[in-house]
């Protein structure tokens, strides 16, 4: 903040300046000259931005897909591709041996065939003559190097744990790879369908063993051109793509547009071909836009509030019951969450996932009287104070937190809201450094119901793993472990059983299963948003109108 009196030199300067001004006979003419000079200076300054190098203008034509991303990428390295903004970009550049289709079933992609001779053996026969963007042909060595990269400590990939069940990885033929796991795993087949299974040339990996690459090379439909941090990532069509005829668009630009309203405006004006993240209060606006196809799908997702079950006051089930019943989440959903999700019916497994118990469970009722009664019968009959930790950056979450604060005040529970940056909240969840209640969201890595249960409710998965509520029920543990080792369909019944037990214990406050949206320019076909979109290329099959 400038202050007007600013030191000795200032006085000196101002005196000389003004004296000389006056000395040149400050007439109207003189003043006009000066104003003219100033105007010229302004004009020059305005021209400078034009002359100075700026962001390359990409022809905004029908041959380019422009997608609006809600935040900057953390990186373009597939081994680090574990979030919702980097993955849509990365998955167009690199590909894996397997992939997931729109129904979340795996199918071979870079592998030609895939065999599962016994519960612990996985055999992949690679496709021949699949070129990388640099012209070299993909071999088994590249695959092995890529997997090794994900497991390399130097890279610190967040997906390294996916290969924990692995015993051996061997090249068992010219174009054949065999992986053996230590135990039977129902979920291991999915690993190579994620970015953890994406293939980059061994040469590239060897050239940067300790640092993520800034210029990824893969087999995908688009080649990496450049990444202007904070601004945009540019990709160009891979003319030698192994699936002939694809992709259909020449260029792909991923623009970083952090403000939701601007993204919607971009969609409206045609600047953006598609976006994924929509601010809840503009959902209806987007749905009403002409020339836009609106896609949505309920994700394999779950929002919840963890209550710390291993310490007072939430170690008492009556307290948890009181808090759960005092929250009118339906009202929060209607007014704050809107149609961005569907209410969870007492489980983290969304209704679209096989093994979900929602059809057999009931939603937590909003019942203030019952809540008060439960509290009166609990270890805290006179109410208590607690904390609710929430992301500072999310206006929706902070609004929800404040609504919950108000609702709990009605039964005598005083909530202090702790607003911290998202990075801090995630760290806190990992270190267990929080008290009372904390918001948590979970998206499945694999299309498997146990993926929504085992990490969150098994007693051995307490922080630094993901059982943030410190829930511990040996019966549930047994069921979840059994399901994990079971590769038959009987596991679904086991999981439903587990969910019923968990629901009865009320360890967390179930909120909603949030949806994924993909509004895009009308006329485009070939891609539908799916729950596990983050393992998938949007642009491979996307066709322009009439194609």
Partner 1 sequence: MVAEIAPTRIDSSQEAPSSWSMFIWRLRGNPKAMIGLTVVILLLVLIVLAPLLAPHDPNHGELSDTLASPGRKYLLGADKNGRDVLSRLIFGTRTALGGALAVVLISELIGVPLGIWSAYRGGWVDEVVTRVLDMMLAFPPLLLSFAVVAAFGPSIRNVVLSLGILYVPFITRVVRSVTLVQKEMVYTEAAKAMGYPQRRIIFRHIFPNCVSSVIVVSSLDLAYALLDIAALSYLGLGVQPPTPDWGNMLSEGQLVLLTAPHLAVSAGIMILIAVLGFNLLGDGLRDILDPRQAKK
Partner 2 sequence: MLRLILTRLLTLVPMMFIITSIVFFMVRFVPGDPARIMAGGQRVTEANLQNIRKQYRLDKPLPTQYALWVKDLAHGNLGRSFRQREDVRILIGDRLPITIKLALMSFALSLAISIPLGILAAMRPNSGIDLVSTVFSLIGASSPVFFTSILLILAFSYKLDVLPALGRGDGGLDTLKHLIMPSIALGFSLAAISTRITRSSMIEALSQDYIETARSKGLHGPQIVLKHAFRNALIPVITVAGLQFGYLLVGTVLVDYTFGLGGLGALLIDSVQRRDYPVVQGITIFIAALFILINLVVDVLYGVIDPRVRYGGRG
Binding site for partner 1 (CB under 8 A): 1, 3, 5-7, 11, 260-261, 279, 281-282, 285, 331-332, 334-336, 392-393, 395, 398-399, 401-403, 405-406, 417-419
372 membership: H or E segment, kind and range: helix 368-376
Residue closer to partner 1, measured from CB, 343 or 419: 419
Matching residue, tokens 């010229």: 40
Q: Report how far residue 238's alpha carbon sits from residue 243's, in angstroms, rounded to the nearest whole number.
A: 10
How far apart are CB 105 and partner 2 at their closest, in Å?
Answer: 26
293 membership: H or E segment, kind and range: strand 292-298
How far apart are CB 335 and partner 1 at their closest, in Å?
Answer: 4
Does residue number 334 form part of the binding site for partner 2 (CB under 8 A)? no
Does residue number 257 form part of the binding site for partner 2 (CB under 8 A)? yes
CB-CB contact of 77 with 195 (8 Å): no
Does residue number 256 form part of the binding site for partner 2 (CB under 8 A)? yes
Q: Report how far residue 419's alpha carbon sits from residue 84's, in angstroms, rounded to the nearest whole number.
A: 23
Residue closer to partner 2, measured from CB, 21 or 504: 21
Burial class (CB in 10 A: 0-12, 13-18, 19+), 22: exposed
Q: What is the CA radius of gyration of the chain?
A: 28
Q: Which of positions 484-543 make contact with partner 2 (CB under 8 A)?
A: none
Does residue number 292 form part of the binding site for partner 2 (CB under 8 A)? no
Does residue number 21 form part of the binding site for partner 2 (CB under 8 A)? yes
| Joined tokens for residue 40 | 């010229």
483 membership: H or E segment, kind and range: helix 474-485
Residue closer to partner 2, measured from CB, 36 or 381: 36
How far apart are CB 278 and partner 2 at their closest, in Å?
Answer: 16
Does residue number 406 form part of the binding site for partner 2 (CB under 8 A)? no
Q: Cis ω on the peptide bond leading into residue 519 (within 30° of 0)? A: no
Residue 65 has φ and ψ, to the nearest 5°, of: -100, 125
Does residue number 61 form part of the binding site for partner 2 (CB under 8 A)? no
365 binds, among partner 2, partner 1, none (CB under 5 to 8 A by kind): none
Does residue number 392 form part of the binding site for partner 2 (CB under 8 A)? yes
Q: Report how far residue 230's alpha carbon sits from residue 75's, in angstroms, rounded to the nearest whole number.
A: 11
Does residue number 258 form part of the binding site for partner 2 (CB under 8 A)? yes
How far apart are CB 312 and partner 2 at their closest, in Å?
Answer: 24
Does residue number 74 form part of the binding site for partner 2 (CB under 8 A)? yes
How far apart are CB 399 and partner 1 at their closest, in Å?
Answer: 4
Name the segment binding partner 2 (CB under 8 A); options: 107-115, 333-341, 427-435, 481-489. Answer: 427-435
Among residues 100, 192, 79, the alpha carbon closest in space to that of 536 is found at 100
């Amino acid at each position: 903040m400038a202050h007007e009196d600013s030191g000795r030199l200032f006085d000196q300067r101002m005196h000389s300046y003004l004296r000389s001004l006056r000395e040149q006979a400050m007439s109207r003419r003189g003043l006009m000259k000066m104003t003219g000079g100033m105007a010229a200076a302004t004009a020059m300054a305005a021209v400078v931005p034009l002359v100075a190098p700026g962001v390359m203008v990409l022809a905004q034509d029908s041959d380019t897909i422009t997608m609006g991303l809600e935040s900057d990428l953390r990186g373009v390295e597939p081994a680090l591709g574990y979030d919702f903004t980097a993955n849509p970009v990365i998955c167009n550049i690199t590909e894996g041996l397997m992939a997931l289709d729109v129904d979340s079933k795996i199918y071979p992609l870079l592998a030609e065939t895939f065999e599962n001779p016994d519960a612990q053996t996985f055999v992949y026969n690679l496709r021949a003559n699949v070129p990388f963007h640099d012209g070299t042909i993909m071999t088994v060595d590249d695959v092995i190097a890529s997997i090794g990269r994900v497991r390399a400590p130097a890279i610190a990939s967040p997906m390294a744990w996916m290969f924990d069940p692995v015993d051996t990885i061997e090249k068992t033929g010219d174009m054949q790879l065999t992986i053996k796991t230590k135990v039977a795993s129902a979920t291991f087949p999915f690993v190579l369908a994620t970015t953890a299974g994406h293939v980059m040339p061994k040469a590239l990996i060897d050239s940067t063993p300790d640092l993520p690459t800034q210029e990824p090379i893969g087999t995908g439909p688009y080649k990496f051109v450049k990444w202007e941090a904070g601004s945009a990532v540019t990709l160009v069509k891979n003319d030698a793509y192994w699936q002939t005829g694809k992709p259909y668009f020449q260029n792909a630009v991923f623009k970083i547009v952090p403000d939701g309203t601007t993204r919607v405006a971009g969609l409206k004006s045609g600047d953006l071909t598609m976006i994924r993240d929509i601010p809840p209060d503009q959902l209806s606006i987007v749905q009403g836009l002409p020339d836009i196809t609106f896609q949505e799908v309920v994700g394999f997702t779950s929002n919840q509030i963890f209550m710390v079950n291993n310490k007072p006051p939430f170690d008492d089930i009556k307290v948890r019951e009181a808090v759960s019943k005092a929250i009118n989440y339906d009202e929060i959903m209607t007014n704050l969450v809107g149609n961005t999700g569907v209410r969870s019916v007492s489980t983290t497994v969304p209704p679209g996932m096989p093994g979900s118990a929602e059809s057999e469970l009931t939603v937590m009722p909003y019942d203030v009287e019952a809540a008060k009664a439960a509290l009166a019968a609990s270890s805290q009959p006179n109410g208590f104070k607690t904390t609710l930790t929430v992301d500072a950056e999310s206006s929706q979450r902070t609004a929800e937190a404040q609504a919950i604060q108000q609702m709990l005040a009605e039964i005598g529970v005083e909530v202090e809201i702790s607003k911290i940056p998202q990075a801090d909240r995630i760290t806190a969840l990992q270190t267990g450094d929080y008290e009372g209640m904390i918001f948590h969201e979970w998206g499945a890595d694999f299309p498997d119901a146990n993926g929504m249960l085992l990490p969150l409710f098994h007693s051995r998965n307490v922080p630094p793993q993901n059982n943030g509520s410190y829930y511990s029920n040996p019966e549930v543990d047994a069921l979840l472990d059994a399901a994990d080792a079971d590769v038959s369909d009987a596991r679904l019944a086991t999981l439903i059983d587990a969910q019923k037990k968990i629901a009865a214990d009320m360890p967390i406050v179930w909120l909603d299963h949030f949806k994924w949206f993909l509004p895009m320019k009308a006329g485009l076909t070939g891609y539908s948003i799916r729950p596990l979109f983050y393992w998938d290329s949007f642009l491979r099959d996307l066709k322009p109108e009439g194609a």
